[in-house]
Amino acid sequence: MENPVVIKGNKHGITVFLDAKLDFGTLKELVAEKFRDSSKFLGEAPVILGFEGRPLLPEQEVEILDIINANCNLKVVMIDDHDAEREERYKKQLDEVLMEIDRAQGAFYKGNLRSGQEVFFESSVVVLGDVHPGASVISKGNVIILGSLKGQVAAGAYENENAFVFATDMSPVMIQIAGIRARCSDEQGKNGNKGMKLAFLEEGRICLEPLSKKIWNDIRL
């Protein structure tokens, strides 16, 4: 083989091709050199690492991992061992890791959301402005609107049942939490369900309540 150590990118991370004939000691040195050289290029993203071209003993795998960790800034989240089912599970876990990072950062949106506009957030979001009829906010976490909510909101999309929606003026067309929808009743639509309110999921139904100490006690983040 011309190049005993080759790094290739794939959908969820990188695959390292190792020469099968080289002795393990030389190979380790070559891996160290390769990752040191490409450290800048690889960056510091969380990745799934896979090995190909040479069967590795568990101890050898750990050794090579240590070398990789020592020589570049990649965050190896897990090792890929070519099992489709397991790969699917890893992918999901990687998504969760990414979301965790987003969640820690939080998001802000400044400005009015007008009819026809749609925004999507991986994290909880604070909207500084109004959500007009025909506009929609979709978030994997909570949605807090410092303004009036007259459009649509989907919080905890699509499975976070602890997500809530808060607006300083709550008169939405529709609220969705963890995939469960509630539409404002026709009468409320006319009179407006005005005021500061919190929407949350309770026993499979969406409840709208004014703020109180009891409500905050029930909220789980």
Partner 1 sequence: MGEVIVITSGKGGVGKTTTTANVGTGLAKLEKKVVLIDTDIGLRNLDVVMGLENRIVFNLVDVIEGTCRIKQALIKDKRYPNLYLLPAAQTKDKTSVTPEQMKKLCDELRDEFEYILMDCPAGIEQGFQNAIAGADRAIVVTTPEVSAVRDADRIIGLLEAHEMKQTHLLVNRLRTDMVKRGDMMSSDDVVEVLAIDLIGVVPDDENIVISTNQGEPLVGNDTMAGKAFMNICHRLVGDDVPYLDLNVKKGIFSKLFSKN
Residues near partner 1 (CB under 8 A)? 111-117, 130, 132-135
Positive or negative, the Cα torsion across 19, 25, 26, 28?
positive
We find the least distance from the C-beta atom of residue 109 to partner 1, in angstroms, to be: 13
We find the least distance from the C-beta atom of residue 191 to partner 1, in angstroms, to be: 14
- Yes or no: say if 79 and 61 are a contact pair by the CB < 8 Å rule: yes
| Dist CA 99 CA 122 (whole Å) | 6
Q: At 88, which helix (H) or strand (E)?
A: helix 84-105
Alpha carbon separation from 107 to 38, 127, 179 (Å, rounded): 33, 9, 21
Q: Which is nearer to partner 1, 16 or 135 (CB)?
A: 135
We find the least distance from the C-beta atom of residue 169 to partner 1, in angstroms, to be: 12
Q: Which is nearer to partner 1, 122 or 169 (CB)?
A: 169
Q: Which is nearer to partner 1, 15 or 112 (CB)?
A: 112
We find the least distance from the C-beta atom of residue 111 to partner 1, in angstroms, to be: 8
Q: Which is nearer to partner 1, 15 or 117 (CB)?
A: 117
- Rg over alpha carbons for the chain, rounded to the nearest Å, is 25
Amino acid in position 49: L
Residue 39 sits at φ, ψ, to 5 deg, of -55, -45
